[in-house]
Structure 1
Amino acid sequence: MSAPTALAASVERCFSASYAQARERFLAAATACRAELRSFGLEVRGAEGEALATDVALIGAEGAKAVLILSSATHGVEGFCGSACQLALMVDADLLARAARSGVALLLIHAINPYGFSWISRTNEDNIDLNRNAQDFGGALPANPGYAELHALLLPAAWPPDEANRHAVADHIARHGALGYRDAVSKGQYTHPDGLFFGGGARTASLRTLEQVLRTQAAAFAEIGWIDVHTGLGPWGHGEKIFAGRRDAEEVARARRWWGADVAVPFAGTSTSADITGHLASTIYAACPDARRTLMALEFGTVPFEEMVDALRGEAWLRQHPEAPPALAGAIRQTIRDAFYCDQPAWQGMVLGQSRLAILQALLGLAGPAD
């Protein structure tokens, strides 16, 4: 089989058309790998009436001293990409053999946000962004006055927005700059439950499930690497390696030794991502307190930031207007899907190649000497 033909076959069997298909493929591949499987269901149903669950596959745990976590669909609709990366790993005999020889277990967490994956939404069933939800809700929550100023503009009375609304948004960007707009919109906010990037008022069921998985299936390992797959930011097809750990110089240095000097650090201003708090990966510090942890979000670019935000604006409007005509609702859902998943072989091939490299680098890092 030629290289282009092999790539096309790999793309076709890894990138699924729906959450239901992705889940079926994940469970089948995990079973073929003789993984230890666990499933954590949600009470709500999926877009096709299907059961929703976060499925967890642990591969090669016996005798392993380290574990690599690969997670998908923290932001539901981004699961088309993340699930494909997980499936590609489970059918990659060479990577599986390298992990086994290195004494590294694999912990694959499929569809952290299954609701969003199924319903083509970035948020969960309560419009909560799981990557802003890991907060101490007993204390003061981060303020985001910039978002409060924008909220009414972001969610207009009618969709699509009229020219006056678009002019007002453009004027805000002109006054505050592109980075000011990015931060106000996407850092996370805790005051407008119907708005964008809402972090919630309490820890979600999905976040509590993740914490349980980490405590019961990762905490026993001395070394933990974690790649959380995302989409939506950056140049088309480029996988930005975003440091996802604490504000700790040693952790940043280790991540760069593993994945390269181009690992971006949001709190240093070197990432396309805003410097957020309450991100999901931070749960590992309490759940796995004795391990050495090296964390990275692998973010694949799709569309320009303003287009991505417009897609989220449309989705937020649709949640408020379930009576919307079916044609309009369908168009909004398609726009969301296109903003976070590029159904094109070239983009998909770029994703699988960069994902494989990041996994290989993590395996080498986990198998190497302590530093």
Structure 2
Amino acid sequence: MSVSGYFSKDYGQARERFIEASSQADATLSSYQCPSKGPDGETLTTDVAWHGDQDAERVLVTISATHGAEGFCGSGVQTGWLESGLYRDLPEGLALMQIHAINPHGFAWLRRVTEDNIDLNRNFVDHGGSYPQNSAYDELADVICPPTWDDATIAETYKTLRSYADNHGEKALQAAISGGQYSHADGLFFGGNQITWSHETLMKIFTDKLSNAQKVAVVDYHTGLGPRGHGERICCHKPESQDLRRATDWYKDDITSPYLGTSSSVELHGVNVFGMEDNLKHADLTVIALEYGTQSSQEVNQALRADNWLHLYGDLNSAKGRGIKRQIRDAFYQDADDWKSDIWNRAVETQRLALEGLSGT
């Protein structure tokens, strides 16, 4: 099968193929049922496949669909790793855990967010304390997510956003929109005011499966940021930490850090790395997000804004609604052979480096 064949057309096909490939590869499978349903009323699940010794102390973890609609990419890599037979190259003493569709609602509905409009990768904050403030988002909230969505509104809001960038800088605008906010529950990049199901499920998986682990590497697959097809290894471990130094060593200095200003991502609130660090205090943890570009940042942001409007005010079954869903799909998944080949090659290289790192002393 060609590399392109590893990628699925939708969540349903992706899940079916992942389950089948895992079964054929004699993986141990576990499923966690999401409280919401799919567009056709179908059951949605996060599925976990484990290869290797159940008590392994060194484990490579891969995650797909942290941001739902981005799941095509990670799912394709996870299924391809099995269908290609690469799982057979697992070094002795190591295990592989593949978490498929940790945000199945977003994957099925072609949304970046969970069933409660929460950005899972902004949800890992202390919900019993005070939330991070994003005054710039507060200032721009009605511009970012207007109640109407037509050509005139798009043009006018774009002009306002560009004016903000001209006055404050591109990074400041990016941080305002995507850094994470906790005061507009119907807006973009909302981190939530409680733990969402996908957050709870991810931590349960880690607790259930990794209690014996001493060294854990995580590759979390994302799309929508950076040059088309380029896989940026983003590390959100804190500067000067041993975890960041280890990631730098494992990936041959080919990583970036939002905290050091070397990443296409700005510094984010509530990323899942924080939850993983708290959950795995007993283990050496090395986490990266492997982020692949698709379209320009302007196109991706416009697709997200349109999708937010659609689910608040629009009709999903209208011609306009279907057009917006095509727009959001294209913003996070490039259904093109060259893009898929770039995704696959970088993923294989990255996971092999992670396995080498885990195998070292």
Q: Is 1:11 matched with 2:1?
A: no
Q: Distance in 2 between matches of 1:339 and 1:176?
A: 26
| Alpha-carbon distance, 1:280 to partner | 1.3
Deviation readout 1:43-78 (Å, 9 max, x if unpaired): 211123321010011111246330000000000000
Q: Distance in 2 between matches of 1:313 and 1:266?
A: 24
Q: Is 1:143 matched with 2:138?
A: no
| Alpha-carbon distance, 1:11 to partner | 1.6
1:167 to 143, 159, 173: 159
User: Residue 307 of structure 2 aligns with which residue?
Assistant: 315
Give 1:47-196 correspondences, 5 Å limit. Answer: 47-62=39-54, 64-93=56-85, 95-99=86-90, 101-162=91-152, 163-196=155-188
| Alpha-carbon distance, 1:263 to partner | 0.3
Instruction: Give the gaps of 5 or more residues in structure 2.
Output: none
Give the counterpart letter for 2:320 in structure 1: L
Deviation readout 1:249-296 (Å, 9 max, x if unpaired): 321121011112120011111101111121112212222221101110
| Alpha-carbon distance, 1:128 to partner | 0.4
Q: Distance in 1 between matches of 2:102 and 2:316?
A: 29
User: Residue 41 of structure 1 aligns with which residue?
Assistant: 33
Identity score, percent? 39
Q: Distance in 2 between matches of 1:167 and 1:289?
A: 47
Deviation readout 1:194-217 (Å, 9 max, x if unpaired): 111000000101110110100110
Aligned CA-pair RMSD: 1.4
Give 1:279-290 correspondences, 5 Å limit. Answer: 279-290=271-282
Give the counterpart letter for 1:130 in structure 2: L
2:295 to 282, 298, 303: 303
Q: State the secondary structure of the residue aligned to 2:69.
A: helix
| Alpha-carbon distance, 1:246 to partner | 3.5
Q: State the secondary structure of the residue aligned to 2:30.
A: strand
Checking the alignment, whether the CA contact within 8 Å between 1:215 and 1:287 is kept in structure 2 is yes
| Alpha-carbon distance, 1:34 to partner | 1.2
Checking the alignment, whether the CA contact within 8 Å between 1:160 and 1:314 is kept in structure 2 is no
TM-score by length of 1: 0.94
User: Residue 361 of structure 1 aligns with which residue?
Assistant: 353
Residue 62 to residue 200, structure 1, CA distance change in 2 (3 Å): closer
User: Residue 3 of structure 1 aligns with which residue?
Assistant: none
Checking the alignment, whether the CA contact within 8 Å between 2:69 and 2:111 is kept in structure 1 is yes
| Alpha-carbon distance, 1:24 to partner | 0.2
Q: Distance in 2 between matches of 1:286 and 1:199?
A: 18
| Alpha-carbon distance, 1:91 to partner | 2.2
Checking the alignment, whether the CA contact within 8 Å between 2:238 and 2:259 is kept in structure 1 is no
| Alpha-carbon distance, 1:145 to partner | 0.3
Checking the alignment, whether the CA contact within 8 Å between 1:219 and 1:287 is kept in structure 2 is no
1:228 to 216, 220, 223: 220
User: Residue 193 of structure 2 aligns with which residue?
Assistant: 201
Give the counterpart letter for 1:197 in structure 2: F
Q: State the secondary structure of the residue aligned to 1:213.
A: helix
Q: Matched residue pairs, number?
A: 359
Give the counterpart letter for 2:138 in structure 1: A
Q: Distance in 1 between matches of 2:199 and 2:60?
A: 19
| Alpha-carbon distance, 1:324 to partner | 6.5
Q: State the secondary structure of the residue aligned to 1:333.
A: helix
Instruction: Give the gaps of 5 or more residues in structure 1.
Output: 1-5
Q: Distance in 1 between matches of 2:240 and 2:82?
A: 32
Q: State the secondary structure of the residue aligned to 1:102.
A: coil
2:334 to 326, 337, 342: 342
Checking the alignment, whether the CA contact within 8 Å between 1:74 and 1:111 is kept in structure 2 is yes
| Alpha-carbon distance, 1:156 to partner | 1.9
Residue 244 to residue 165, structure 1, CA distance change in 2 (3 Å): closer
Q: Distance in 2 between matches of 1:333 and 1:309?
A: 14
